Amino acid sequence: MCHPAGTLFHEKRMNLLHRINQFLGYLEMGALALLTTVMFVVVFGQVIFRYVLNEPSPWTEELARYLFIWIALIGAAYGVKGRSHFGFELIVRKMPRSLQRFEHLFVHACMGILVFVLTFYGMKMLRVVSFQMTPALQIPMRYVYLSLPVSGFLMSFHLICNFLGAGTKEGGAKVA
């Protein structure tokens, strides 16, 4: 099959975007598995120390909280990749095709604004808390707040890939 040069170039770019999107998804899954496992071990250890050994550990609750923040935000990015966030698919399917396209654009625009705000203010907060230390762990708070711009970048990339149709191998957003 003969492709015009522009179409072939476009397909190569979309394929590259798809592969990067998939790679980031695998990294997110791995990070989620690792962070969840560490959080489970920390919370289990906290229960053992508190109720069995009668020696509560002051740092376990703090670490579990910070791990949960990272898990929630990376999980949100992974949800954007898989288009698994809350939606009104039943209502959208009943709309005329022209309204479905408008809804698709509107939802992506709203999500784009939300992700921009998350990333922008996450970067601002990162600068503000840069030199603060956590109370129990005595680690810089920037490691906690870094979750905002990291997840914002991941969500942005997945959102762009989904919008352009590089989020799935079939290509194109599913509009009815």
| pLDDT tens, position by position, 73-83 | 999 999 999 88
Confidence category of residue 166, pLDDT binned at 50, 70, 90:
low
DSSP E strand stretches across the chain? none
pLDDT for res 4? 60
Residue 147 CA to residue 73 CA, distance in Å, equals 7
In this prediction the pTM is 0.84
User: pLDDT tens digits, residue range 98-117?
Assistant: 888 888 888 889 999 999 99
Confidence category of residue 85, pLDDT binned at 50, 70, 90:
confident
Domain map (residue ranges) of the chain: 5-164
> At CA 66, angle to CA 61 and CA 67, rounded to 5?
95
Is residue 25 over pLDDT 90?
yes
pLDDT for res 24? 95
**Any idea what DSSP says for residue 86?**
-
pLDDT for res 3? 54
Residue 115 CA to residue 16 CA, distance in Å, equals 23
pLDDT for res 80? 93
Is residue 169 over pLDDT 50?
no
**Any idea what DSSP says for residue 87?**
-
pLDDT for res 31? 97
pLDDT for res 175? 39
Is residue 159 over pLDDT 80?
yes
